Structure 1
Amino acid sequence: MASVDDTATPTVTREHAADEVEDLTIRINEARDAYYERDTVLISDAEYDELMRRLEELERLYPELQSQDSPTLTVGGRGETTLFAPVEHAERMLSLDNVFSPDELADWAVRAESAAGRRVHWLCELKIDGLALNLRYQRGRLVSAATRGDGRVGEDVTENVRFIPGIPMKLEGDGHPELVEVRGEVYFPTEAFGALNARQAESGEREFANPRNAASGSLRQKAEGKNAAQLDLMHRRLSGLKMLVHGIGAWPDPPVAAQSEVYELLAGWGLPTSDRYRVVDSVAGVQEFVSYYGEHRHSVEHEIDGVVVKIDELALHDELGATSRAPRWAIAYKYPPEQVNTKLLDIVVSVGRTGRATPFAVMEPVRVAGSVVRQATLHNQDVVKAKGVLIGDTVVLRKAGDVIPEVLGPVVELRDGTEHAFVMPAECPECGTPLRPMKEGDIDLRCPNARACPAQVRGRVEHIGSRGALDIEALGEVSAAALTQPRVPAEPPLPTEAGLFDLTVDDLIPIEVVVRDAETGLEKLEADGTARVRAPFRRNPSAAERKAGLEGPQPSASALKLVSEIEKAKTKPLWRILVSLNIRHVGPVAARALADHFGSLEAIRAASRDELAEVEGVGGIIADSLLDWFEVDWHREIVERWAAAGVQFATPGHPGPGRAAEAGGVLAGLTVVATGSLDGFTREGAQEAIIAAGGKAASSVSKKTDFVAAGPGAGSKLAKAEELGIRVLDAAQFAVLVTEGPDALDR
């Protein structure tokens, strides 16, 4: 793959661009899933931004490579979750675009002011290292608190929010709107974060990588299954959190004209607001604010990694609008990384789900920008050489805000001759297969043993349990490792994912695993120097059970839960089953399109390339990928064994390929696009309502689209509909359309 620092030019062939887009998408989504779903940081903020920039560059060069699932079109985590109940935001929660230099900031301000058509005022505020939260108040009372999620649907954490000091359950004063959404950041103050990690270390628990992860990990806890002591600890952690609100979501008719006036009103309602903001009337004033806090960032009680700049006039927010993921009236200025020195103890190679062999630095723990760091990725062997680092070097690290830093290079003058060069292994460290580039010109080395490499199987199994696939809460990183790479038994329960749905409690009880550090992957040791081992799926009988004659190891609660959730997953929607097969390019959007059109995996397998490619949202690249996938014998074995175990590979009642409209219904023969937040419908609910009415639920607007149902946050699809002259419906009209048909709209 070409370096992410390369500039996309027409010399990049479409074939190479397609491969790189796929690779970038996988890397970005893996980083997002770790960050939003597992509260884990895989790559540095700077690297993430570079990956996103490169992907945007390639998609501009070859627009047809931009899928509906592209990270450039989405916000936050992916898919829905069963860990907490889903909450659909009344208004979409967007992300922010970033700038990294005073010149980039000035250029953005000029463009924004030009688009506004007049001089504006700029509101500058600190970018908090925390977890985005949406508070919904009805008639002044808190009815829900939800995480950002994917920007449209978040997780309901209302019960936990009740323990956070400073968040009012009832707003002060009077005259509150019928409905208002207030957005802000939940965070750990720097002092409280340090105390929390000290307690974690003292009790032998894993320390949090940074305050944001600590905030997320504390807020996203379930009380269910905890004993009294565990509940007390959970509540104490929640009570250490704080929140600052910085914006509004849904608010039918705010009685103020500026963002700064919103803050005054919210403060008057008893909501926690920051006094560290300033309204200025020039870019020079913005730069002064940015410079001041760049020099005084550690004087603030919470971690920051930059400054958010917003146009203060609220009327311009609606006028300027937003892209699919970020408003055009706000930007985040990211501070340049901080730098520290530490010792490079080793360079270890890990293998991921796609077989890429990635070296990463293992270092003496060092505190930088508010968190302790022990590792950083080194990408590939060429990067290691380019940086010139030797094992044993004192190295320079930098860190942008709240994420794991990157190794910049060695402090050469501190070498004493004991250092030695890193040698990239010729064989996969997990299975011993010779590593090689998969295509001519590739820099990355990969393990070609996709079927049996334990690391790749582990990654695929973990993916199956992820939110965007089968959403099996009990099948996460730890469970996937236990099932595919146990210490005992010698033959793992899952040599491939084909046996997943055959698992029984008896398969799980014998499993023993070596406890590894979550960041470095290195074994944890007992006091005598032996590896620490645990049995995650078994327990000893209680005294009452022994008295009743029960002997021998018993299944743990996690074992019973895993088997139960796997059984339930057998009848999940077809699109989720398709995503879980790990077919190249087939993400949730393409999987939905395939499932809606064909109705069964059998019909998909029987389709020709042209028939697959003609499905809206699929196209030639995904069609080729599907055909290639089914050519592999062990892929077919997965399908056969899953089917034999009872996995449902068909949508009940589906009439067959392309015949959904023939099943009748008030929308027979019509194509409808639902976009934005439609009152009374979730995203999936809106699509299901269209299909149930006999219509086609399309994911993009084209000349073939008959209606577009658009709610708040509709963005580019609404603009496209207006451009093409397609009739646009609000939520109430959409409800009429799917129940009574198009003729009822004009009654």
Structure 2
Amino acid sequence: MDARGVDDLTRDEARTEVEALTSRILELRDAYYARDTVLEDDATYDALVRRLELIEHAFPELQSQDSPTQTVGGVAETTLFAPVEHAERMLSLDNVFSAEEFAEWAAKVERDAGRSVRWLCELKIDGLALNLRYERGQLVTAATRGDGRVGEDVTQNVLRVAGIPTRLAGDPDELPDLVEVRGEVFIPKAAFDELNALQREAGEREFANPRNAASGSLRQKAEGKNDEQLARMRDRLSRLRMLVHGIGAWPNPPVTAQSEVYGLLERWGLPISSHFRVHDSATDAAEYIAFHGEHRHAVEHEIDGVVVKVDELALHGELGATSRAPRWAIAYKYPPEQVNTTLLDIVVSVGRTGRATPFAVMEKVRVAGSEVRQATLHNQDVVKAKGVLIGDTVVLRKAGDVIPEVLGPVVELRDGTEREFVMPTNCPECGTELRPAKEGDIDLRCPNARSCPAQVRGRVEHIGSRGALDIEGLGEISAAALTQPLVPDAPPLVTEAALFDLTVEQLLPIEVIVRDAETGLPKLDDDGEAKRRSPFRRVEQRYGPEAAGLDAGELRARGIRKQAVTVPSALATQLLDELEKAKTKPLWRLLVSLNIRHVGPVAARALADWFGSLEAIRAASLDELAAVDGVGAIIAEAVQEWFAVDWHVEIVERWAAAGVQFTTPGHAGPGAAAAAGGVLAGLTVVATGSLEGFTREGAQEAIIAAGGKAASSVSKKTDFVAAGPGAGSKLAKAEELGVRIIDAAQFAVLVREGPDALGLDEGATS
């Protein structure tokens, strides 16, 4: 990140930095929201976003529609569960990291309010945000935050979380017709330790922290699991808890303060925290923050700070919100905990994108609630800047209480046996010479993207992830087995091109070293040896045909013994079945699975919805790609660059030859409907809520097939809003702007016959 002030940048320099910042922020968001992986601490992430905001403010023409400053940060288009549109937006919180920053923020709030305010302080739970929707007291849906407007429907899993009522307590006549309750799902510290012990016993990957455990437990599906897997899934869900902290949608709540909201929620039978307090001054609030910073480990769940809110609800409306966060609340993030340990070695790992990253391998130590023995050192310049030597006693912390970070050495403890780290010149996985991706880059990368085993492993694991093709059986260990096996000598997959050609015969002989998903380094057993596994084969003891018709006594008398027979495991059968199913999965999932830089679920859906086929996407110009709502110039360039590589094209051709369908059935294609005089040519339609006869994707495809634009937000340029049950803020926005509103039956007529068939007057609503 450029250390200069924004005013010192030329326009070209600003454009270059905006592209770099956008790329990095999108990468961090994808890791955090799609893969439950944290690559940078909160302070670093926030600094990147702040820098981008400053540059966009100075150069507003550089702010694109795909800028991270314009969105909350989650994935709008859900991938694992059905989408749920919140009746009111779920916002994130802005952060402060010092007493001075908090004092400045509180003073600004009081200036904007025109008077002194009371402050509600509550512990910031390190968990997963959840929205509970109750209609006439009955729980209807439970959904994750997603992008703040659309989240994932996790209702069935939430029903197994203790303490969440399916019906609110109290007089049914006094309960609101509709109310959304917001809170945080987490796993208590004791339950987290128990869960990881069970993961170790089962030979499964341990959770890095309680937040990952909560997210991973809540966002899992029962489909495809056997009885044992279902039992473990239910056990994990039973360990979760939730504390609610606010109300989203409710037109006229009978309370005037946030602190009163908590009393109301408790009377309804909802679980609330006992740790909140209301203070009359910012000074008292600061004392609350300081106290819990010193006693943070005394709480039953992990916390990473304190949330401070204006208690008076009327001021919430007056102070308002930005596109991402309310102006009446802030999160104070605590500095992370620090311990000392020994730096045993520095090893270099190569990731999915080819980046060569030095990792500190340390003597195992417990910090911020979990045991740590590896931490990223980012690149060779960071190693030099920290001044660490192999053999040093180093200071370790968990940045944001999540990511292990080596701060530096304890120099006075050196005894002369320490040695300097030397960055390798060649890739440790394939031997290719490392180099920067472009001039001026600090990071070194392995340019052998096609066949570097580490990069292929990472891409194959990504293909199986829930954000891509969501293939049961294609995870961390399976990906390593297919690309970097100990046995056989030649891996089944040299690139991902042959993925859909795999056979049982290729899977059975595989033996593999189990690797850490983040670092790519071998996992070690208690003796310090690399863990080995044969994930796809099972050895059974069977009698041969000569034993037919003989009882046990005759078998013994004749000396006939069982023979060891290697048979496919359930995982092998499941993987091949899942790969077959994946051939007809939606186009947007296939786009994500191609590992095109920046093309996550949101951009992939936008491209798939507009173009309808991979062939049309390949044929589109840069301007045509960038013009798609939700794409923009940076993603458009990445798409074109990807298709310009010959071995990328080979992947598409091999997959297509294996039966993978790169088209959306019934899609008319970009411009095809308009050229044929599509009934919605030139019109923009927004579909929201549950439209009878249409899935969410089906409604969008119907709009596009009729030649219209399927927009994701309502504006003055919107021609129609098709609204069904569950329609929330989009419906309200349409009413505010006077946009024509139609129901499901009218929508069916609209996409089939066009607007004239509705018989609506200009500006009329249903």
TM-score range, shorter chain: 0.7 to 0.9
Tell me which residue corresponds to 2:90.
93
Contact 2:686 2:710 in 1 (8 A): yes
Cα distance, 1:374–1:654 mapped onto 2, change above 3 Å: same
Note the 1:274-293 alignment, pairs <5 A: 274-293=273-292
SS of 1:660's partner is: helix
CA contact (8 A) 1:668 1:695 kept: yes
Deviation at residue 746 of structure 1 after TM alignment: 2.1
**Aligned equivalent of 1:255:** 254
Q: Distance in 2 between matches of 1:623 and 1:445?
A: 25
- Match in the other structure for 1:687: 700
The one-letter code of the counterpart of 1:653 is G
Preserved CA contact (<8 Å) 1:92 1:712: no
Maintained 8 Å contact 1:43/1:377: no
Match of 2:130 in 1: 133
> Judging changes above 3 Å, is the alpha-carbon distance between structure 1 residues 527 and 101 closer, same or farther for their aligned structure 2 residues?
closer
| Residue 32 (structure 1) aligned with residue 29 (structure 2) | no
CA contact (8 A) 2:184 2:242 kept: yes
State the match for 2:102 in structure 1: 105
C-alpha distance after superposition, 1:491-530 (max 9, x if no partner): 2222112222222333333322112345654434567876
Give me the TM-score of the superposition, normalised by structure 2: 0.85
Larger radius of gyration: 2
1:46 maps onto 2:43 in alignment: yes
Number of residue equivalences: 735
1:573 aligned partner: 586
Give me the whole-angstrom Cα distance separating, in 2, the residues matched to 1:575 and 1:234: 28
Could you tell me how far 1:49 is from its partner in structure 2? 3.2
Matches within 5 A, 1:655-694: 655-662=668-675, 667-673=680-686, 684=697, 687-694=700-707
Q: Any unmatched runs of 5+ in structure 1?
A: none
Query: 210-219 or 331-340: which moved more?
Result: 210-219
Residues of 1 paired with 2:507 and 2:60: CA distance?
47
AA partner of residue 458 (structure 2): G
Amino acid at match of 1:630: F
Counterparts of 1:701 and 1:544, CA distance in 2: 69
Task: Confirm or deny: 8 A CA contact 2:224 2:472 kept in the other structure.
Answer: no
Pick one of 651, 655, 663 that aligns with 1:642.
Answer: 655
3-state DSSP of counterpart to 1:246: strand
| Deviation of 1:79 (Å) | 6.2
The question of 1:165 aligning with 2:165 is answered no
Measured after TM superposition, the shift of residue 307 of structure 1 is 0.8
- Kindly tell me: are residues 482 and 210 of structure 1, through their superposed partners in 2, closer, same or farther at Cα, counting changes over 3 Å? same
After superposing the two structures, state which structure 1 stretch, 124-133 or 161-170, moved more: 161-170
Check conservation: 1:21, 1:65, Cα contact below 8 A.
no
Partner of 2:556: none
CA distance in 2, matches of 1:238, 1:304: 20
Residues of 1 paired with 2:645 and 2:457: CA distance?
Answer: 19
Q: Which moved more, 1:512-521 or 1:611-620?
A: 611-620
1: CA distance between counterparts of 2:350 and 2:26? 14
Counterparts of 1:378 and 1:486, CA distance in 2: 27
Specify the code of the residue in structure 2 equivalent to 1:258. A
TM superposition shift of 1:391: 1.0
Taking structure 1 as reference, are residues 493 and 276 closer, same or farther at Cα in structure 2, changes over 3 Å only? same
Q: Paired residue for 1:395?
A: 394
Structure 2 residue matching 1:301: 3-state secondary structure: coil
Q: Comparing 56-65 with 655-664, which one deviates more in the overlay?
A: 56-65
Task: Return the offset for 1:231.
Answer: 5.8
1:411 corresponds to: 410
TM-score of the superposition, structure 1-length normalised?
A: 0.87
Residue 480 (structure 2) aligns with: 481
Change beyond 3 A, Cα 1:405–1:682: farther
379-388 or 527-536: bigger deviation: 527-536
Give 1:604's aligned residue. Answer: 617
Deviations 1:173-199 (A, max 9, x none): 222223323222222333443454456
Bigger drift between 24-33 and 191-200 goes to 191-200
Q: Supply the distance in 2 between the matched residues of 1:625 and 1:558 (Cα, whole angstroms).
A: 35
- Partners in 2 of 1:657 and 1:314 — Cα distance? 47
Question: Are 1:746 and 2:741 counterparts?
Answer: no
Query: Which shifted more, 387-396 or 618-627?
Result: 618-627
8 Å CA contact retained: 1:90, 1:679: no
Q: In structure 1, what residue type is equivalent to 2:614?
A: L
Matched, 1:304 2:274: no
CA contact (8 A) 1:335 1:400 kept: no
What do residues 675-729 of structure 1 show as CA deviations (whole Å, max 9, x unaligned)? x8678787645533532554112457788654567964569x969x98xxx6445
Aligned-partner residue type, residue 136 of structure 2? R
| Identity within the alignment, % | 72
Measured on the aligned residues, the alpha-carbon RMSD in Å equals 3.7
- For 1:319-718, list aligned pairs within 5 A: 319-518=318-517, 521-525=520-524, 531-541=530-540, 552-615=565-628, 617-618=630-631, 620-662=633-675, 667-673=680-686, 684=697, 687-698=700-711, 705-706=718-719, 712-713=728-729
Native 8 Å contact 2:686 2:720 kept in 1 = yes
Relative distance call for 1:227 and 1:472 in structure 2 (3 A) is closer
The 1:620/1:502 distance shift into structure 2, 3 A limit, reads same
Counterpart of 1:20?
20
Change beyond 3 A, Cα 1:577–1:505: same
- Following superposition, the deviation at residue 215 of structure 1 comes to 2.9
- Whole-Å Cα distance in 1 between the matches of residues 610 and 78 of structure 2? 25
CA contact (8 A) 1:655 1:663 kept: no
Change (3 A) 1:320 1:542: farther
Q: Answer whether contact 2:121 2:276 (CA < 8 A) is retained.
A: yes
Distance 2:194 2:360 in 1: 27
Contact 1:43 1:403 in 2 (8 A): no
CA distance in 2, matches of 1:429, 1:161: 44
What residue number does 2:559 align with?
none
SS of the residue 2:396 aligns to: strand
Compared with structure 1, are the counterparts of its residues 128 and 608 closer, same or farther at alpha carbon in structure 2 (3 Å cutoff)? closer
| 1:155-194 equivalence runs, <5 A | 155-174=152-171, 175-194=174-193
1:536-587 per-residue CA deviation (whole Å, 9 max, x = no partner) reads: 1222358799999998433333223322332233233333333333334444
Partner of 1:145: 142
CA contact (8 A) 1:708 1:718 kept: no
What's the offset of the Cα at 1:387? 0.6
C-alpha deviation, 1:110, in angstroms: 3.8
CA contact (8 A) 1:172 1:268 kept: yes
Which sits farther off after the overlay, 279-288 or 542-551? 542-551
Secondary structure at 1:553 match in 2: strand
Q: Please give the per-residue CA displacement for 1:569-624, whole angstroms capped at 9, x wherever unaligned.
A: 32333333333333344444444444344433333333444554555555555444
Aligned partners of 1:584 and 1:228: how far apart in 2?
A: 38
Distance 1:441 1:394 in 2: 33
Pair 526,512 (structure 1): closer, same or farther in 2 beyond 3 Å: same
Deviation at 1:129, TM superposition (A): 2.0
Give me the whole-angstrom Cα distance separating, in 2, the residues matched to 1:670 and 1:550: 70
The alpha-carbon deviation at position 277 of structure 1 amounts to 1.3
Deviates more, 1:280-289 or 1:48-57: 48-57
What CA distance in whole angstroms lies between the structure 2 residues aligned with 1:150 and 1:616? 16
Partners in 2 of 1:219 and 1:591 — Cα distance? Answer: 25
